[in-house]
Structure 1
């Protein structure tokens, strides 16, 4: 969701090499799909400043039955932020607030079957939930989405659970209560890059803010950035 679609398109094209395809304005409200090497990797939609909502990236989880997913969210202590709706010719979507207060989307496949490239430069690399209610959130996603979870770490300073495990893992939940004392639960999206330092330099030159400078980790060289409108995202040079 971006309050300045044109600037966002230019910014992300400079960082990730994205190319774009806009949907019919009357049907899809100006929704834009981003591509890398011909594969869809992300989407953009106008964020009305009057809504009071910040510019933000969102993860959508695939569901088989969007109405059943909404019922499961409410039964597990979450809320329906945007009720299930049909996107003509593409599928069905909804937005939920999970039991810890984080916003997450849901998508029931139709003509649109999600991003088609993973881990490559410019494509989604990882999806992560930062939460102050770790055990509660893990159970929420196990109950609502039938996640097959795996505990990657359970030490006092690093608690982390993944959806599936090893090379088949798809997303993670981290206990952020000891890292970000005052931050509410929120989702984080990582995009793959070929050179993290070069991407950070380009982003700053285009008006981005560095939240966490590029540094090496067990999982690659990572950085956290906020684009010129404040939408936060992460990059990973694996």
Structure 2
């Protein structure tokens, strides 16, 4: 389960590149009740999504040529060492390690299959204020054309462990957990094959939703779209995939992402 202890290798932050920050903030306000708090004039438009005064994510200007997307950040104890390990394992450094105004150190990468992600070495900011609650990040999922190679890359970086899980007959899924602690208790995400041939590899955040169908209704009313309709998956829960008005994918889930006996 994802917690705000944020051990090494766990998701600790998410942010979104947007071509229209006010419109994006308004959409997520209508969907999750998030409010937008600017990080200040020196932050270049970057700001925080908050739920009841607690940070659940962030948003900033979209880099030229990029597609709107959520970026998942993983905790690292040494951002420079992780950057070196990423290159040695066949990844690409998109943004080299840099200090973020004393809050911590950041770098952004692409894995060998092209999925983008970032790492965070804590300074004054450890990570998000709240996770695993309604309207907050609860799961991170990688869809990739080569799940075995995808896991191998991240294992080299973070020491992740994996447990094969078959939520339904013929449905292959890898549950990933941090290097230390009880393996099931520290599970925070999964790796699965891409849903369609030729689909780019990517990380997608799941937000907890007490009522998935009600959130879908709010999202579509606010201009979002449904990528995968709500479905109740045995041993998993009720889930759906949506996109915001700029086409940014995200997912919803009710209950634990994995409920094995």
Is the counterpart of residue 132 in structure 1 residue 148 in structure 2? no
Q: Which runs of 5+ in 1 are unaligned?
A: none
Find the residue that maps to 2:196 and give its secondary structure. coil
Distance 1:205 1:30, change over 3 A: same
Matches within 5 A, 1:12-51: 12-26=28-42, 28-48=43-63, 51=64
* Cα separation, 1, equivalents of 2:19 and 2:34: 19
State the Cα deviation string for residues 125-168 of structure 1 (Å, max 9, x = none). Answer: 11000011111111111111111322224999332222224232
- Indicate the residue corresponding to 1:118 in structure 2: 131
Distance 1:86 1:203, change over 3 A: same
Is the counterpart of residue 237 in structure 1 residue 260 in structure 2? no
8 A contact 1:158–1:175 mirrored in 2: no
What is the TM-score when the length of structure 1 is the normalising length? 0.92
State the Cα deviation string for residues 34-63 of structure 1 (Å, max 9, x = none). Answer: 122332110100114xx1111111100111
Is the counterpart of residue 168 in structure 1 residue 168 in structure 2? no
Deviation at 1:19, TM superposition (A): 2.2
The alignment yields a C-alpha RMSD, in angstroms, of 1.7
* Cα separation, 2, equivalents of 1:205 and 1:35: 21
* Cα separation, 2, equivalents of 1:156 and 1:215: 16
- Indicate the residue corresponding to 2:6 in structure 1: none
* Cα separation, 1, equivalents of 2:102 and 2:70: 23
Q: Which runs of 5+ in 2 are unaligned?
A: 1-16, 178-182, 256-261
Deviation at 1:182, TM superposition (A): 1.8
* Cα separation, 2, equivalents of 1:120 and 1:25: 30
Find the residue that maps to 2:70 and give its secondary structure. coil
Distance 1:73 1:84, change over 3 A: same
Aligned length: 233
Is the counterpart of residue 211 in structure 1 residue 224 in structure 2? no
Distance 1:156 1:98, change over 3 A: farther
Is the counterpart of residue 159 in structure 1 residue 137 in structure 2? no
- Indicate the residue corresponding to 1:147 in structure 2: 160
Find the residue that maps to 2:128 and give its secondary structure. coil
* Cα separation, 1, equivalents of 2:145 and 2:46: 33
- Indicate the residue corresponding to 2:204 in structure 1: 188
Is the counterpart of residue 73 in structure 1 residue 86 in structure 2? yes
What is the TM-score when the length of structure 2 is the normalising length? 0.84
More helix as a share of residues: 1
